[in-house]
Chain A
Amino acid sequence: MSNGTSVKGGGTFCFGLLLLAFPLLLWLFLLVVLPHIDLFLVSMRERISYGKYEFSLINYIEFFSEPLYWNTYVRTAVMSIFATFLTLVIGFPVSYYIAKFMRGKGKNVLFLMCLIPFWVSELVRTFGWMILLRESGVVSNFLQWSGIADGPVEMLYNDATIMVGLVYTSMLFMIVPLVSVLDSLDDSLIEAGYDLGGNGFTVTRDIVIPHAMPGIASGCIVVFMLTLGNYLTPNLLGGKDSLWFTEQIYTQFITRFNWESGSAFGFLLLVLSSLIVWVGLKLSKQTLSETVG
């Protein structure tokens, strides 16, 4: 990172720097920092009459005193953590296979095959699951045809289906960091582990997983964040009873036009997501710039 001072005079350099920093500052302050501060301020006020507001904690009190909101919040968090865990458990063997079993062209092809579904809109993927799992869907028909079920089976609108959809949607963000971190693990380290008397289990526990930790951390953080903030998948696959917290925010903002309470919900979701990301970083001893940068 050598800078331009060697070729340019100090004054003009400073001006150039300001010019370069201008779009960045505009972007960050107008679109990221100030809107979130404003969101917080709006969440701390109560509407008295038209255009008149007063400082109040009523929105947060309402959240904690209404079991529906509170339960939805906890449910969203718990299901997101579970979905992240499942994504990791399902994705890890696949990443390991791509990174360590495959060579050359086959490896690139397999890796691309993992990526391509995710260039397709989440809406299309969820639509696919709806066609597969609905009462008149492919799986239900297959079960009847093969004699496992007697009548049509409705597989939409339950928690397991939401989970299938969430894991599916997040898989890419787990596999990419895992493959890249496992690629960097030298095969000879694994061989040495076996030479020294380790078996599959101990080698995985003592060599592979510690090495893969940065990838695991960044995969989990991104997957968790995306799952927590997901709206489409729980809404379409879970139906009316999906009870996802983003739906509550949407209801407050768009349906009930209660922006104060919606802001409070939004802020609480932001706190939850930041908190768990922070805990994840601490536990895996990573920093944000290492993880995403």
Chain B
Amino acid sequence: MIPSIPQPKFYKGLYSGYITLFFIYLSAPLIVVGVFAFNDSLFPSMPWEGATLAWFFGTEGPYIGIFNDSKLLESIGVSAFVAFWVTVLSVTVGTCNAFLFERSQFPGKNLLYIVSLSPLVIPGVILGISILVFSNAIANGVEEAIGWDLEFLRPGLFLVIIGQFAFITTITTLVISARLRKFDISLEEAALNLGASRRAALWTVTIPFLKPALVGAGIVAFLMSFENFNTTLMLVGSDAPLTIAMFDRLKQGSTPVLNALSLLLMVVSGGLALLSVFVQRDKTS
């Protein structure tokens, strides 16, 4: 099965055929979404009515293009806002966690490590409802005790950020830990021997070494937050992030403006994905 082992031509052809079919399966939905963004019809379906750019730039109803659809544009803004905060928080906490797990010894470390991996095996919907129930309990408790109405603990963007942060932090922790594990501690010791303070050694030696992982983790966190649906669904208030807004439109049946939006998303997230691959590629070793 490997090149050094002779196989009948027929078998090889069959295998290549299977791989080709697989890649058609993989790409078909994405290609279709992209192509129908240019269809001059009110529905994202057959037949093909000729090409148009109206679903990008159109201004007259029903041909309202994505660049003029204020509701969708607004929800992109909401998503970007959420993703920004989730990225900042999860990369910061992930870095602390990486140092904690890779550099120090303390009782109960293994247990803590397992618990911090657990968000990966908790379904997103359940993470969402448990945070919803808990924050609601706190908000009610505070209101009963001292009469303050903590608005931010009710469904809304704050809870969405917190909910996504809860599981994305596990991923940033793993990415940054993997890089920190490869770090040669003697480099830091050399810096200390040469008279650097601990803080200086950290900022000039360790953090620059971690930079590819920090950037990579940041990109992953941003994309995961931007595309999250399950946790967001349970915690969302009146401001709908993009995935929720798109879901509502899809359920109602929408014009191909959704295709145009999807095509833009594909281009942007594909580009970011490639960027994260190149950033994380280790050039030194």
Contact = CB atoms under 8 A, between A and B. Distances in A.
Nearest to A93: B18
Interface in A1-33: 1-4, 7-8, 17, 20-21, 23-24, 27-28, 31-33
B117 A8 contact: no
Contacts of A125: 29-30
Given A39-B130, A112-B277, A137-B46, A24 B100 contact: yes
Interface stretch (B51-59, B70-78, B208-216, B263-271): B263-271
A94 B265 CA distance: 27
Given A17-B104, A123-B243, A226-B123, 13 more contacts: A28-B115, A38-B134, A39-B126, A39-B130, A127-B29, A127-B259, A131-B259, A138-B32, A138-B46, A222-B120, A225-B123, A246-B125, A288-B117
Interface residues of A, number: 92
Interface of A: 1-4, 7-8, 17, 20-21, 23-24, 27-28, 31-36, 38-39, 42, 90, 93-94, 96-97, 100-101, 112-117, 119-132, 134, 136-138, 140-141, 168, 171, 187, 190-191, 194, 200, 203-204, 221-222, 225-226, 228-232, 236, 246, 249-250, 253-254, 259, 262-263, 266, 269-270, 273-274, 277, 288-289, 292-293
Is the interface on chain B under 10, 10 to 19, 20 to 34, or 35 or more residues? 35 or more
Given A23-B93, A38-B134, A190-B1, A292 B117 contact: yes
A247 B49 CA distance: 37
Contact of B5 (A21, A137, A194): A194
B22 to A, nearest CB: 5
B15 A229 contact: no
B105 interface: yes
A191 to B, nearest CB: 6
B10 interface: no
A97 B19 contact: yes
Interface of B: 1-5, 15, 18-19, 22-23, 25-33, 36, 43-47, 92-93, 96-97, 99-100, 102-106, 112-127, 129-135, 137, 162-163, 165-166, 169, 174, 177, 185, 189, 192, 198, 223, 226-227, 229-230, 233-234, 243, 246-247, 250-251, 258-259, 262, 265-266, 269-270, 272-274, 277
A120 B126 contact: no
A168 B25 contact: yes
A21 to B, nearest CB: 6
Nearest to A132: B32
B129 A137 contact: no
B104 A35 contact: no
B251 to A, nearest CB: 8
Given A121-B265, A187-B2, A32 B29 contact: no
Contact of B134 (A34, A226, A250, A266): A34
Contact of A32 (B166, B246, B251, B265): B166
A279 B94 CA distance: 29
A107 B234 CA distance: 40
Given A8-B198, A127-B262, A190-B2, A229 B230 contact: yes
